[in-house]
Amino acid sequence: MWDKPRVLNWIANFLNALAAVMFLYGLGYVVVHLPIFPLKEVRVEGQLEHVTREQIKLIVDRHLQGNFFTVDVVKARDAFQKLPWARKVSVRKRWPDRLEVVVEEQHELARWGNIALVNSYGELFHAASDSDLPVFYGPGDGVAEVAKHYGVYSQILAGGTGMRITQLALTPRRAWQIRTDKGLVIELGREQMEERLQKFASVYNQTLGGLKVAITYADLRYPNGFAVRKPEAAAPKRKTGAA
């Protein structure tokens, strides 16, 4: 091989090129890790009501290590994403020394039993809330379905009766039941739920709304009307005394 100048030239050129690449890589590594590119600003944007300054500061101190080039934006995004009230997070660098974080917070819509909260997208999330929220019940795959119908049923009831839904349940057989802030339980069944509720709401003020007795139960699963139940009157106490 040593008597083949073309091969020797090729090897020499390859080694020179490899040395040049390694030199440039080493030079770039040193330059990038120099303290001349510090990350001076972390800007967190979004309509934040639950994510606190203390939580943000803790994440910055723990997970945003390095300078503008070496900070790991994926790691930073994952850290912010773990906040209980963070639904969606994006992180990007802005030359020369800024990191921009955009946090979309969860907006609680209801409680899913006593297990979790439901956001406005019909998704479950785990966080603490002291808000007065309606309670949803249903099968595990029915969260989005219950959230969607809640919006429709709430609008119908509010417009026709002025009542607010405090509980909405979907059974495994896909039958619906509503409980309102007036203590009224409404059975909707599995078919024509919106139509039934609309008819009920349209006549409520002219019929049940004017009664002096509170109605506790309304069954709308009848083809041409609905059945109601009023509270049972408490039996009068019998007086006892010595004969």
pLDDT tens figures, 44-86: 999 999 999 999 999 999 888 888 888 889 999 999 999 999 9
Give the model's confidence band at 17: pLDDT under 50 very low, under 70 low, under 90 confident, else very high.
low
Q: Of 10-19, 22-31, 57-66, 208-217, which one has max mean pLDDT?
A: 57-66
Question: What is the helix (H) or strand (E) element at residue 27, kind and residue range?
Answer: helix 5-32
What domains appear along the chain, each with residue ranges and CATH number?
41-105 (3.10.20.310), 109-229 (3.40.50.11690)
Closest to 157 in 3D by CA, of 122, 222, 208: 208
pTM of the predicted model over 0.85: no
CA distances, 150 to each of 47, 124, 153, 193 (Å):
25, 15, 5, 12
Task: For residues 146 and 174, give the distance between their C-alpha atoms in angstroms, rounded to a whole number.
Answer: 10
Task: For residues 199 and 177, give the distance between their C-alpha atoms in angstroms, rounded to a whole number.
Answer: 16
pLDDT at residue 4, as a whole number: 56
Residues in the chain: 243
pLDDT at residue 19, as a whole number: 56
Task: For residues 163 and 152, give the distance between their C-alpha atoms in angstroms, rounded to a whole number.
Answer: 13
